[in-house]
């Protein structure tokens, strides 16, 4: 087929057709006019036999065949009219076709396919002959693409749910650890949080980015055990919902939480901490007595602006938390940022 070889060489079709290879639910058919007979094909193309639908076209196509060999007369006529419109207009065209499929095992079903048609001329084998008209039809299984989108959305939702569950579990002790009692549980959680803080510093140092450390507590007021447990349980559920799935939330004391905001700088971290505090202030807890609002005291530090050392960073956040508690009302306090030492006397400016 010299004309076809020359066509592929001169029209740069190999680059286009190679780009279409390997995409699920995507295929193409090259037709020669005026017969609209198949010359070449690849990938997944619609077939009247459902056993061949969404399968490699080579399983059921042969050179010289036409749509009439694979579809009932009505469908073949619709496809032929679409081909002729594309040839007549000379411009790329796109249509969606509902292809009825059938087999001996199942009843008839329908699948939607989008077809892009492009008509073009190529020199004939005989230089004296007029150019040969070709039609490229690219097929995409719309149902397959929609199914992939649904599956991807479901996978993303599952990942988010799992990450949220992990974040919530970080505030608790795993059952298999064998520890029992609140002291043992909180000691375990505090140790894991400190380890996560060191890992976050190592990662941020390698990637040259910042992160924020937030400490949250219910403050210095004495609460009865039931009220404290109720508010702490509320925060254990609410705090992870107020941050991203990539962030870390852990209960590290009887009424104290630690939060690591990955990639966050000091100012955005302060804004996020304030949002968490205001959100908690809207909650009302009533356990065997008068209703009380949730008042939070928060200290915020950031790597590397506050410090690039885990111990100093944690100590700075603790000092900011103490300042917030000393204020007497729920508030958020930023850790002190160390200033650069002044230049020595007589040194060049």
pLDDT tens per residue across span 99-155: 876 655 445 567 788 888 988 877 777 777 787 888 889 888 877 666 666 677 677
H-helix or E-strand spanning residue 121: strand 109-122
Pick the closest to residue 260 from 223, 217, 303 (CA basis).
303
Domains and CATH numbers, the chain: 2-148 (3.30.450.20), 170-334 (3.30.70.270)
Checking if the pLDDT of 238 tops 80, the result is yes
Pick the closest to residue 30 from 20, 311, 108, 146 (CA basis).
20
Mean of pLDDT values over 276-300 = 84
pLDDT tens digits along 265-283:
989 999 999 999 999 888 8
* Residue 326 token pair: 């000393």
The share of the chain scoring above pLDDT 90, in percent, equals 20
Placement of tokens 């009865």 in the chain: 224
Beta bridge pairs of residue 138: 28, 116
How many angstroms separate the CA atoms of 311 and 248, rounded? 18
Tell me whether residue 5 is exposed, middle or buried, using C-beta atoms within 10 angstroms of its C-beta: 0 to 12, 13 to 18, 19 or more: exposed
Pick the closest to residue 17 from 49, 54, 57, 48 (CA basis).
57
Tell me whether residue 211 is exposed, middle or buried, using C-beta atoms within 10 angstroms of its C-beta: 0 to 12, 13 to 18, 19 or more: buried
């Amino acid at each position: 087929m010299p004309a076809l070889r020359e066509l592929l060489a001169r029209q740069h079709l190999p680059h286009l057709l190679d780009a279409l290879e390997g995409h699920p639910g995507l295929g193409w058919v090259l037709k020669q006019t005026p017969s609209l007979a198949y010359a070449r094909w690849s990938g997944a193309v619609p077939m009247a036999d459902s056993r061949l639908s969404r399968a490699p076209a080579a399983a059921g196509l042969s050179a010289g065949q036409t749509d009439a060999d694979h579809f009932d007369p009505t469908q073949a006529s619709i496809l032929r009219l679409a081909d002729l419109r594309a040839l007549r207009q000379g411009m790329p065209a796109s249509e969606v076709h509902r292809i009825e499929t059938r087999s001996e095992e199942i009843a008839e079903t329908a699948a939607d396919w989008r077809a892009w048609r492009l008509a073009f001329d190529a020199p004939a084998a005989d230089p004296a002959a007029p150019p040969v008209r070709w039609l490229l039809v690219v097929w995409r299984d719309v149902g397959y693409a929609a199914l992939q989108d649904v599956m991807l959305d479901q996978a993303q939702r599952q990942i988010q749910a799992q990450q949220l569950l992990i974040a919530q579990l970080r505030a608790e002790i795993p059952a298999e650890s064998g520890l029992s009692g609140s002291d043992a549980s909180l000691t375990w959680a505090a140790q894991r949080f400190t380890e996560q803080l060191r890992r976050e510093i190592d990662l941020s140092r390698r990637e040259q980015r910042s992160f924020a450390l937030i400490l949250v507590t219910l403050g210095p007021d004495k609460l009865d055990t039931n009220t404290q447990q109720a508010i702490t349980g509320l925060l254990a559920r609410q705090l992870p919902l107020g941050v991203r799935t990539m962030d870390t939330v852990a209960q590290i004391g009887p009424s104290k939480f630690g939060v690591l905001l990955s990639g966050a700088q000091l100012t955005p971290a302060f804004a996020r901490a304030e949002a968490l505090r205001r959100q908690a202030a809207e909650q009302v807890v009533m356990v065997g007595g008068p209703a009380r609002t949730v008042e939070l005291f928060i200290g915020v530090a950031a790597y590397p602006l506050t410090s690039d050392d885990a111990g100093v960073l944690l100590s700075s956040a603790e000092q900011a938390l103490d300042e917030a508690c000393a204020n007497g009302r729920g508030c958020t306090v930023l850790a002190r940022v160390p200033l650069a030492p002044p230049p020595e006397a007589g040194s060049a400016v």
